[in-house]
Amino acid sequence: MTRDSERPVTAVLGPTNTGKTHLAVERLCGHSSGMIGFPLRLLAREVYDRVVKIKGAGQVALITGEEKIVPRDARWFLCTAESMPLDRDLAFVAVDEAQLGADPERGHVFTDRILRARGREETMILGSEALRPMLKALVPGIDILNRPRFSTLSYAGARKISRLPKRSAIVAFSAEEVYAVAEMLRRLRGGAAVVMGALSPRTRNAQVAMFQAGEVDYLVATDAIGMGLNMDVAHVAFASLDKFDGHRQRRLTVAEMAQIAGRAGRHQRDGTFGALVEEGPGAFTPEEVSAIEEHRFPRLDFLYWRDGEPDMSSIDALVASLEARPAERVLRAAPQATDLAVLKRLAEEDWVRDRVRTPAMVARLWAAAGLPDFRKLGVDPHARFVGRLFGHLSEGQGHVPHAWFAEEIARLDNVAGDVETLAGRIAAARSWAYIANRPDWLADPAHWAGRAAAVEERLSDALHLSLTQRFVDKRTTMLLRQIGADRGALPVVIGPEGEVMVEDHAIGRLEGFRFTVAADARHGDKRLLLAAAERRLGDERARRGAALAAAADEALAIEGDRPAIRWEGLEVAQLGAGPTLVRPRVMLDRTLDCLERGLRSKIQARLEQWLAGQLGRRLPGLVALDTAQRDPLAPPALRAVAAALVAAGGITARSDIAASVDSLDSAGRRQLRAHGVTIGALDLFDARLLKPGPVRWRRVLRIARGETLAAAPPDSASVLDRAASGATLADGYRPLGAQAVRIDLVERIARAAHDARAGRKPFAPDPALAISMGVKPETLARLMAALGFRTAAAVEGAPRWVWRGIVRAKVAPPSRDNAFAALAGLGSTFG
């Protein structure tokens, strides 16, 4: 362990949001050259971009395991701690988050940089106040400065995900937990950006940009955000307080909690932290809350160490020096890291020992073993991969074959797949990027580094898109942001097909007056979308309602047999049973309930007016009869016949109302004929009702009244197969045995028969009329009998008939033993 006491070393210690990193960047840029080592590739890239804006791309370098941007005239270097080139003579050197020297996995790297990384003019060590005793023990004469936090960090209690404030970051400690929290936020709050240490800088920056731009109000991250990543976070919520540290599941230390919670608040804006549960392992204890708020943490009493300049004389000497114990009391030998475990596995192979016989080959083997396990395969699979790599590095020209590299990169160059698949490919691509950025491992390292970087960029773009599609519902996010704003603030646009759009996001369809949520909306979104649409579509519905209230006759229709009124193809009302057949009730469709009462009344009046006009034109006789039955000045017999005809839909058997028909005087009969009624031998009917248009309207009215009807008979058919058609008198057909004959044709046959007879003498009617209609002989016989004709002796085989008259059932006079008779008696008594 070498130290240079003549070079001044300054430590800047304090909690998060104290401006330590900002100070180091200012000092870096103030020197003629310099370097800063960071704990994360993401943070190194973030600061690199800042310094490039100040110094220009030609003088600033970025060095990480997977990425090297080193211009020829580079003077300022931004690196990960592991990648810092300590052999460069630079005016300024800084190490960020140096308290990570206590981390079991990477601590030895940060401890080595504390001990060996020095600037020619100034060295700066940044970290937590807990690091103070270690620095005093390890760096004699160090000047320690303490910086207070710019803003207040306070505990906000436990809050459920659904109640988290905007600009919150939710921290989880596994990819599975991150995805689960992000999915819940998508359902409840429209979505979240996702940040994990395993993301490429390009993906991470794209996700953070969404959060910073306000496209989403929430961020879900691993504890990587605790390492100085700068984001505008107001509140940090812990999904849990346990993590797997590579060896066991354990509770976070208070210092780790504070490091993460401290991301809340920025510069002089206060921040808050809390958990998602009030009780149990995921909740903060009062002691933890107090320590975090007051920035009081246990001081570190040791750091992990491993020889940063190990003996390369042989494999065994290298292993021995890497496993050596430190001389300093405050240092502790680092646990075996992956690189050392891989080295020891390879050292067991005879072929490896055969090839590693010089210090140069030992160094090459150690460099290969240092390839990080980006894919998290575990020691054995990773050792096999490194063994194949070293096999190429230790033979021939010592280069990785282009064919192998190209084949693996081509296999990874595939942007199809889900989030997990793409993240796995990026991790694998990082291994090849690491290999390509070793200057002596490939014959053409610049070409293959560019190729690996291009693949990682494409995968990163695809991963960002996949994360956004999976965890961000822009429609819901935008609605949440705008719902409740001033009227008109939500730009609802209705397309020509009724699609309802909000800032180019389809939220549903407006079909007439009914809004239907988009089919792809999840159950949790529907209430929100309905609320947004209901609040914003009132004007459009009112406009449509006014148009309906003023609709022209041609815009309204009743289609088929369905008793419903349609407006421009939309069902707006249904017909129900009313006082009479031709006065049905008009019931507005329930979708019109969204309209103001006065407007609904206008629509009701317009539809009733239209229906009355249609019935007056389509069924004039029935409408006239309905008026007659309610005329108090009309004779009782006429009113009775009119009522019976209206009730029967304009067609009724004469025998059913014989008494009323017989009671008609000549004026009453004339009035019925004026209304289009034929008083036939067997039936009373309006012949106009037998035409296709009136037939359909009568069926609609009968269905509206609640009748169940068979299929409509064919238009203008004269005779039907009764069994097949099921035709009845109400349909305009008189059933006669196996056939049903249209009632107006029955009347023509009756008239022809009476014209052919001579009193009550036997006669033979001309069969041509019946035959032309399709009436069978047996049907004609039934009809003649119903008309009052009886068979007589046939002449030369031709049937003959004799008129006997229609026998009608006599209606018995009403009994005098009833209430009406009693009232009549009283009338005569007091008369």
Q: What is the pLDDT of residues 20-55, one digit of tens each?
A: 999 999 999 999 999 999 998 888 998 999 999 999
Residue type, 687: A
Is 473 in contact with 525 (CB distance < 8 Å)? Answer: yes
- Residue 721: its pLDDT value, please? 85
- Residue 810: its pLDDT value, please? 52
- Residue 819: its pLDDT value, please? 45
Q: What share of the chain is helix, strand, coil (3-state, %, to 5)?
A: 45, 20, 35
Final residue of a structural domain among 257, 278, 301: 301
Task: Reply yes or no on whether the pLDDT at 187 is more than 80.
Answer: no
- Residue 829: its pLDDT value, please? 36
Q: Cα–Cα distances in Å, from 537 out to 117, 324, 540, 548, 595? A: 66, 75, 5, 17, 11
Is 272 in contact with 206 (CB distance < 8 Å)? Answer: no
Task: Reply yes or no on whether the pLDDT at 682 is more than 60.
Answer: yes
Per-residue pLDDT band for 203 (boundaries 50, 70, 90) equals confident
CA distance 175 to 181: 10
From the centroid of its chain, how far is CA 222? 26
Tokens of 488: 């008109």
Residue 777: how many other CB atoms lie within 10 Å: 11
Task: Reply yes or no on whether the pLDDT at 225 is more than 80.
Answer: no
Give the length of the chain.
831
Per-residue pLDDT band for 2 (boundaries 50, 70, 90) equals very low
Assigned domain for 42 exists: yes
Assigned domain for 439 exists: no
Is 431 in contact with 371 (CB distance < 8 Å)? Answer: yes
Q: What is the pLDDT of residues 458-511, one digit of tens each?
A: 999 998 888 888 887 665 665 555 554 443 445 667 777 777 776 566 777 888
Does 297 lie in the same domain as 164?
yes
> Which CATH number do you get for residue 33?
3.40.50.300
Per-residue pLDDT band for 532 (boundaries 50, 70, 90) equals low
Q: Give how many domains the chain has, as a whole number.
A: 3
Range 396-418 burial, b when 16+ CB lie within 10 A, else e: eeebbeeeebeebbeebbebeee
- Residue 336: its pLDDT value, please? 94
Task: Reply yes or no on whether the pLDDT at 119 is more than 80.
Answer: yes
- Residue 222: its pLDDT value, please? 87
End-to-end CA distance of the chain: 139
Tokens of 635: 């004779």
Does 110 lie in the same domain as 13?
yes
Assigned domain for 519 exists: yes
Residue 169: how many other CB atoms lie within 10 Å: 28
| Look-up of token digits 């056939």 | 739
Does 294 lie in the same domain as 160?
yes
Output Rg (C-alpha) for the chain, integer angstroms. 48
Range 491-522 burial, b when 16+ CB lie within 10 A, else e: ebeeeeeeebebeeeebbbbebbbbbbbeebe
CA distance 421 to 419: 6
Q: What is the mean pLDDT of residues 234-252?
A: 88
Does 228 lie in the same domain as 177?
yes
Residue type, 764: A
Say if residue 224 is exposed, middle or buried (CB neighbours under 10 Å; 0-12, 13-18, 19+). Answer: buried
| Look-up of token digits 């296999």 | 411
Q: What is the mean pLDDT of residues 242-255?
A: 86
Q: Cα–Cα distances in Å, from 139 out to 114, 121, 611? A: 8, 16, 99
- Residue 827: its pLDDT value, please? 41
Q: What is the pLDDT of residues 446-455, one digit of tens each?
A: 999 999 999 9
Q: What is the pLDDT of residues 510-527, one digit of tens each?
A: 888 888 877 766 555 556
- Residue 584: its pLDDT value, please? 96
**CA atoms within 13 Å, Cβ hemisphere of 2:** 9
| Look-up of token digits 């401890």 | 111
CA distance 79 to 88: 13
From the centroid of its chain, how far is CA 664? 72
Element holding 154 (H helix, E strand): strand 153-155
- Percent of residues, the chain, with pLDDT higher than 90: 59
Q: Give the highest mean pLDDT range of 201-205, 236-240, 264-268.
A: 236-240
Assigned domain for 524 exists: yes
Q: How does strand 492-494 pair with strand 499-502?
A: antiparallel
Please name the residues in contact with 749: beta carbons below 8 A apart, sequence gap of 6 or more.
741, 769, 770, 773, 775, 780, 783, 787
Final residue of a structural domain among 148, 170, 202: 148
Element holding 430 (H helix, E strand): helix 419-436
Q: What is the mean pLDDT of residues 692-703?
A: 92
Minimum mean pLDDT range among 222-236, 287-301, 634-648, 672-686: 222-236
Does 7 lie in the same domain as 100?
yes
Torsion-angle region of 696 (φ positive above 0: left; ψ -120 to 50: alpha; else: beta): alpha
- Residue 441: its pLDDT value, please? 95
- Residue 793: its pLDDT value, please? 78
Q: What is the pLDDT of residues 284-340, one digit of tens each?
A: 999 999 999 988 889 999 999 999 999 999 999 999 999 999 999 999 999 999 999
Q: What is the pLDDT of residues 342-377, one digit of tens each?
A: 999 999 999 999 999 999 999 999 999 999 998 888
Final residue of a structural domain among 234, 269, 301: 301
Q: What is the pLDDT of residues 709-759, one digit of tens each?
A: 877 777 778 888 887 778 889 989 999 989 999 999 999 999 998 888 888
Assigned domain for 118 exists: yes
CA-based angle 529:530:535, to the nearest 5? Answer: 105
CA-based angle 348:353:355, to the nearest 5? Answer: 140
Q: What is the pLDDT of residues 65-110, one digit of tens each?
A: 888 999 999 999 999 999 999 999 999 999 999 999 999 999 999 9
Does 4 lie in the same domain as 114?
yes
Does 213 lie in the same domain as 102?
no
Assigned domain for 407 exists: no
Does 163 lie in the same domain as 143?
no
Query: DSSP label at 807?
Result: -
Is 702 in contact with 725 (CB distance < 8 Å)? Answer: no
Does 141 lie in the same domain as 162?
no
Say if residue 94 is exposed, middle or buried (CB neighbours under 10 Å; 0-12, 13-18, 19+). Answer: buried
Of 45, 78, 18, which Cα lies nearest the Cα of 259?
Answer: 18
Comparing 532 with 449, which gets the higher pLDDT? Answer: 449
Of 383, 394, 386, which Cα lies nearest the Cα of 355?
Answer: 394
- Phi, psi (deg, nearest 5) at residue 716: 65, 15
Residue 261 sits in which domain range?
A: 155-301
Tokens of 200: 């490429």
| Look-up of token digits 């570190």 | 300
**CA atoms within 13 Å, Cβ hemisphere of 402:** 7
Assigned domain for 761 exists: no
Residue type, 718: S
The pLDDT mean for the chain works out to 87
- Residue 478: its pLDDT value, please? 58
Say if residue 172 is exposed, middle or buried (CB neighbours under 10 Å; 0-12, 13-18, 19+). Answer: buried
Tokens of 813: 């006079």
Does 137 lie in the same domain as 58?
yes
| Look-up of token digits 């803003």 | 151
Does 115 lie in the same domain as 210?
no
Per-residue pLDDT band for 820 (boundaries 50, 70, 90) equals very low
Q: What is the pLDDT of residues 595-606, one digit of tens each?
A: 999 999 999 999
Does 288 lie in the same domain as 247?
yes
Q: What is the pLDDT of residues 397-443, one digit of tens each?
A: 999 999 999 999 999 999 999 888 998 999 999 999 999 999 899 99
Residue 817: how many other CB atoms lie within 10 Å: 7
Assigned domain for 482 exists: yes
